[in-house]
Amino acid sequence: MVLLAVSNYCQSFRCYFCSNILLTLSNIQDLWVCYVISVKPNNLKVTDCIGFCEPPFTMETHPQSFRRTKIVINADDGFYSDIRDQGIVSCLSGINSGVSDVSVLMNGAVARHLLSVLDYQRKQLSALFSYLMKNNLIPGLHFNLTEGKPLKYKRSVQSLLDHRDCFLGKYGFREHLLSSAVDMNEVELELESQLQAFKQLFGTVPSHLDGHQHIHVLPGIDAVVARVLSRNGVKWIRVPVERIPEVSPHLTETEAEFYKNVSDQATKAREIFSSYGLK
């Protein structure tokens, strides 16, 4: 899956050129950018319309605004599987792809394999890891509490797991959280484990953090994430605040409700993140 993000002020609109969903910057009015994402079995790339509508001012007239704005298009779910990683590498290396960053799942199948082998073997086993090392790129951490199995020993994070010792799922975790059945100490333990696994692979902290299925902005989870990131020296975090009514015609009712909740939660989480110095 590819996530589109424009700093922490991303807003969603329709494309002036092709009517597809696009993003615009709130602090540079009328600068329109369109990326159409195509996901195929063995490829993941930006296709079709990539358009810019001429803004009402230029670099010469408003240099400060242009200098301070950076568009980041982030591919998440790195290390989920080999085939997904190949698609992400194709995006990162493509001249016209637009994808500029990636975040990785440290409990994904590829990550677990990489952690189980010696350092010199890793580049041969993962196309994405090899690409990142070759280009001296440090990815973000795609913090996961909803899919697969934890990195922490199961008995120490029991409130996060089902009867199969797997995470509870996108909606199951949220229901568990609403019923106050999630132990925040266990959330912290698992996040620390995923951070330590990241450091083991890359020798440093992530460039940023985002959440698998946006779990990092959930009430209570946000404070744990902010505290742990601050303690570990991670400075950047995704804040998925969106104008959902602008894109809702493209979503089912369930999807629209989910993303509206995410956006509302992200708005509240932003204050917590800022209080810990996260950007």
User: Which residues are annotated as catalytic?
Assistant: 76
Interacting residues of 206 by C-beta distance below 8 A, sequence separation 6+: 103, 138, 139, 140, 141, 195, 198, 234
Residue in 39, 49, 55, 51 with CA at minimum distance from that of residue 3: 39
